[in-house]
Amino acid sequence: MIEVNGLTKRYGGTTAVKDLTFTVHPGRVTGFLGPNGAGKSTTLRMILGLHEPSSGTVTVGGRPFRERPRGLRQVGSLLDAHDVHGGRTAMAHLSALAAGNRIPRRRVEEVLREVGLVKAARRRIGGFSLGMKQRLGIASALLGDPPVLIFDEPLNGLDPEGVRWVRDLFRRLAAEGRTVFVSSHLMSEMEHTADQLVVIGRGELIAAESLAEFSARGTRSCVMVGSSALPALEPLLTAEGATVRREDGLLAVTGLTAARIGEITQRHGIPVHHLSARASSLEEAFMELTADSAQYLAGGTR
Amino acid sequence: MTNTNARATAGTPANDAPTAGTPIADAPATGTPTAGTPDAGTPTTGTPDAGTPGAGTPTADTPGTVTPDAGTPTAGTPGVGALTAFEPRARFRDLLASEWIKLRSLRSTWVAYGATASAVIALNAGTAYDTYSNWTQQDSEGRAAFIRDGIPLATAFNANALMIMMLALGAIGALMIIGEYGTGTIRTTFAAVPARRSVMAAKALVLTAVTTVFGAFAAGASFALTQLILEGRDAGVPLSHPGALRVVLASALLAPVSALVGMALGTVLRNTAATMVTAGVLLLVLPVAFGDDGHWQAVVGHATLYQAWIRIVEVGFAPSPFPWTASGAWTVYAVWALAAAVLAIISVHRRDQ
User: For the segment A41-66, what is each residue's pLDDT rounded down to a tens digit?
Assistant: 999 999 999 999 999 999 999 999 99
Partners of residue B83 in chain A, C-beta under 8 Å: 26, 147, 176-178
pLDDT given for residue A75 in this prediction: 96
With cut-offs at 50, 70 and 90, classify the pLDDT of residue A32: very high
Residue A200 included in any domain? yes
* Stretch B123-148: mean pLDDT: 89
Residues A127 and A267 both lie in one domain: no
Same domain, A167 and A30: yes
Q: What is the CATH number of the domain that holds A264?
A: 3.30.70.100
pLDDT for A230: 86
pLDDT of residue A29: 96
CB contact under 8 A, B85 and A66: no
Average pLDDT for chain B = 80
Contact B52, A177 (CB under 8 A): yes
Instruction: Give B161: exposed, middle or buried? Use CB within 10 Å, 0-12, 13-18, 19+.
Output: buried
In this structure, the answer to whether residues A129 and A259 fall within a common structural domain is no
**What pLDDT, on a 0 to 100 scale, did the predictor assign at position B321?**
80
Q: Do B80 and A209 touch (CB under 8 A)?
A: no
Query: What pLDDT is attached to residue B79?
Result: 38
Same-domain pairing of A197 and A228: no
Q: How many domains does chain B have?
A: 1
* Structural domain range at position B277: 99-351
Q: Is B139 on the interface with A (CB under 8 A)?
A: no
Q: What is the mean pLDDT of residues A108-116?
A: 96
Residue A167 in domain: yes
Instruction: Tell me if A212 and B37 make a contact (CB, 8 A cut-off).
Output: yes
Q: pLDDT for B255-288, tens place per residue? A: 999 999 999 999 999 999 999 999 999 999 999 9
What is the predicted pLDDT for the residue at B26?
37
Mean pLDDT of B168-193: 95
Note whether A53 and A180 are same-domain residues: yes
Contact B35 A211 (CB under 8 A): yes
Q: What is the pLDDT of residues A141-188, one digit of tens each?
A: 999 999 999 999 999 889 999 999 999 999 999 999 999 999 998 887
- Looking at the structure, tell me whether residues A144 and A186 fall in a common domain: yes
- Do A18 and A165 have their domain in common? yes
Residues A94, A171, single domain; the answer is yes
Distance from CA of A74 to the nearest CA of B (A): 6
pTM score over 0.90: no
Residue A292 in any domain: the answer is no
| CB proximity B180 to A under 8 Å | yes
pLDDT recorded at residue B30: 36
Q: What total of structural domains would you count in chain A?
A: 2
Mean pLDDT in residue range B229-239? 91
Tell me if A100 and B191 make a contact (CB, 8 A cut-off): no
Residues from chain B that touch A196, judged by Cβ atoms under 8 A, are 35-36
In a domain, B43, yes or no: no
- For position B17, what pLDDT does the model report? 37
A10 pLDDT tier (thresholds 50, 70, 90) = very high
SS3 A50: coil
Return the H-helix or E-strand segment holding A200.
strand A196-201
Query: Most B CBs within 10 Å: which of A11, A33, A91, A102, as the mutation test of the B interface?
Result: A102
- Rounded mean pLDDT of chain A? 89
Nearest Cα neighbor of A154 from A208, A126, A125, A194 is A194
Q: What is the 3-state secondary structure (H, E, C) of chain B?
A: CCCCCEEECCCCCCCCHHHHHCCCCCHHHHCCCCCCCHHHHCCCCCCCCCCCCCCCCCCCCCCCCCCCCCCCCCCCCCCCCCEEECCCCCCHHHHHHHHHHHHHCCHHHHHHHHHHHHHHHHHHHHHHHHHHHCCCCCCHHHHHHHHHCCHHHHHHCCHHHHHHHHHHHHHHHHHHHHHHHHHCHHHHHHHHCCCHHHHHHHHHHHHHHHHHHHHHHHHHHHHHHHHHHHHCCCCCCCCCCCCHHHHHHHHHHHHHHHHHHHHHHHHHHCCHHHHHHHHHHHHHHHHHHCCCCCHHHHHHHHCCHHHHHHHHHCCCCCCCCCCCCHHHHHHHHHHHHHHHHHHHHHHHHHCCC
Same domain membership, residue A232 and residue A210: no
pLDDT tens, residue by residue, A75-87: 999 999 999 999 9
Which of A94-98, A244-248, B10-14 is predicted least confidently? B10-14
**Cβ distance of A101 and B106 shorter than 8 Å:** no
Do A25 and B55 lie within an 8 Å CB cutoff? no
Is residue B268 one of the residues assigned to a domain? yes
pLDDT of B335 over the 90 cut = yes
Is the pLDDT assigned to residue B329 strictly greater than 70?
yes
pLDDT at residue B23, rounded to an integer: 38
Chain B contact set for A173 (CB, 8 A): 1
Contact B34 A212 (CB under 8 A): yes
C-beta neighbour count of B349 within 10 angstroms: 11
**Does residue B50 lie within any of the structural domains?**
no
Whether the per-residue pLDDT at B145 is higher than 70: the answer is yes
Looking at the complex, report in whole angstroms how far the Cα of residue B60 sits from the nearest Cα belonging to chain A: 13
Query: Which CATH number does the domain housing residue A191 bear?
Result: 3.40.50.300
Does one domain contain both A64 and A161? yes
In a domain, A291, yes or no: no
How far is the C-alpha of A27 from the C-alpha of A177, rounded, in Å? Answer: 4
Does B29 map to a domain?
A: no
pLDDT score recorded for residue A79: 95
Full residue range of the structural domain in which residue A38 is found: 2-216
- In this complex, how many residue pairs, one in chain A and one in chain B, have their CB atoms less than 8 Å apart? 227
A-proximal residues of B, 56-115, CB under 8 Å: 62, 80-88, 90-91, 94-95, 97-99, 101-102, 105-108
Which position has the higher pLDDT, B7 or A139? A139
Residue B79 lies in a domain: no
* Chain A interface, best mutation among B26, B100, B189, B193, by max A CB count within 10 A: B193
Task: Answer whether residue A147 is part of any domain.
Answer: yes
ipTM associated with this complex: 0.80
Q: How far is B179 from chain A (nearest CA, A)?
A: 7
Specify if B18 maps to a domain: no
Distance CA A162, CA A277 (A): 33
Please check whether residue B21 lies inside any domain of the structure: no
Per-residue pLDDT tens digits for A218-267: 555 678 899 888 888 888 888 888 888 887 888 888 878 888 888 999 99
A70 with B353: Cβ contact below 8 A = no
What pLDDT, on the 0 to 100 scale, is given for residue A294? Answer: 54
In this structure, the answer to whether residues A81 and A200 fall within a common structural domain is yes
Kindly list the residues from chain A whose CB atom is less than 8 angstroms away from the CB atom of residue B193. Answer: 69-71, 100-101
Q: Is residue B286 part of a domain?
A: yes
Q: Are residues A247 and A123 in the same domain?
A: no
